[in-house]
A and B are shown apart, each in its own frame.
Chain A
Amino acid sequence: MIMSKEVLTQLLAATEEVFETMVFKPVSRQDPIEDETVRPASNVVATVAFAGHRRGLVAFHSSLGTARNIAGAMLGMPAEEINGEMPDAIGEIANMIAGSFRTKLAATEPACAIAVPTVTIGSDFSTRYLGQASRVLCPFQMDGEPIYVELILTGEQS
């Protein structure tokens, strides 16, 4: 399945808005990737599932160092002092991207419900989505470092 342009536009706008207002670091977008085989190299993945009119999940990916930089910027702390705060901060990033995305879509369709964020940290893992789904991976650059926002939509609504 191919992701609709409207859905993609709202996801990109939600991501940019979250980084500008809550991380105080603008991100620059790159071409979205719809190739199912491309997986971002990331040590930190935060996911937020949603259900209702649409079903799927939003996932945020970054390296460990970038995740610490993001958490430090959000909390007003030097990145090197960030440790235990990072998972909560990255979970909140995914929560705000998914929430803002949901709100933007709800302007023209019934609202979905979103779940609480889940954060995975590690160096040797991958995720696989079972069943029929459409997927897009949106790469961004923040301070010259790559970050990724992935959207998976299952069922017929894409």
Chain B
Amino acid sequence: MRILVVDDSSTMRRIIINTLNKLGYKECHEAGNGREGVDKLASTPVDMVITDWNMPEMSGIDFIRAIRGNDATKKLPILMVTTNAAQDDIMEAMKAGVNNYVVKPFTPDTIKEKIESALKAA
């Protein structure tokens, strides 16, 4: 499975990709914000997107709206990984079209469970 990881923190991208590799997801692509994510999706087909919320240039929420607004990507499973975990945040992300939600800090088991759940929900 091909996964695009979008986060402005290179550390967090590396942690998420290391975690995905350990879980058996070996083909991972990365982008530093929502705008780069949109560009990457146009050139590199993937099976799932994992995105942060707070990013410069294009936030995770705007990125999700862009994915859902494009016929080519609107059905992609999307997992949001963020520190924004208040009830209102989760509601906003779900409304934008996220399939599941992981709160930082997280464990590999949580990522695994949420990926499986997001794939089922998509």
Contacts and interface: CB of A to CB of B under 8 A. Distances in A.
A18 B105 contact: yes
B18 A85 contact: no
A21 B83 CA distance: 14
B107 A99 contact: no
Of A91, A96, A114, the most chain B CB neighbours within 10 A belong to A96
B90 to A, nearest CB: 10
Interface string B1-22: 0000000011110110010000
B86 A89 contact: no
B95 interface: no
A71 interface: yes
A88 interface: yes
B27 interface: no
A21 B107 CA distance: 6
A20 B107 CA distance: 9
B107 A88 contact: no
B2 to A, nearest CB: 22
What is the size category of the interface that chain B forms with chain A?
20 to 34
Contact of B86 (A20, A76, A92, A106): A106
Contacts of B83: 95-96, 98-100, 102-103, 114
A55 B66 CA distance: 33
Contacts of B11: 71, 74-75, 85, 88-89, 91-92
What is the size category of the interface that chain A forms with chain B?
20 to 34
Contacts of B73: none
A111 interface: yes
A22 interface: yes
Interface in A74-110: 74-76, 85, 88-89, 91-92, 95-96, 98-100, 102-103, 106
B114 to A, nearest CB: 14
Contacts of B56: 116
B105 to A, nearest CB: 4
Interface of B: 9-12, 14-15, 18, 54, 56, 82-89, 103-107
Given A91-B11, A111-B86, 17 more contacts: A21-B105, A21-B107, A74-B15, A76-B18, A92-B9, A92-B11, A95-B104, A98-B83, A99-B82, A100-B83, A100-B103, A100-B105, A103-B83, A103-B85, A103-B86, A103-B103, A106-B87
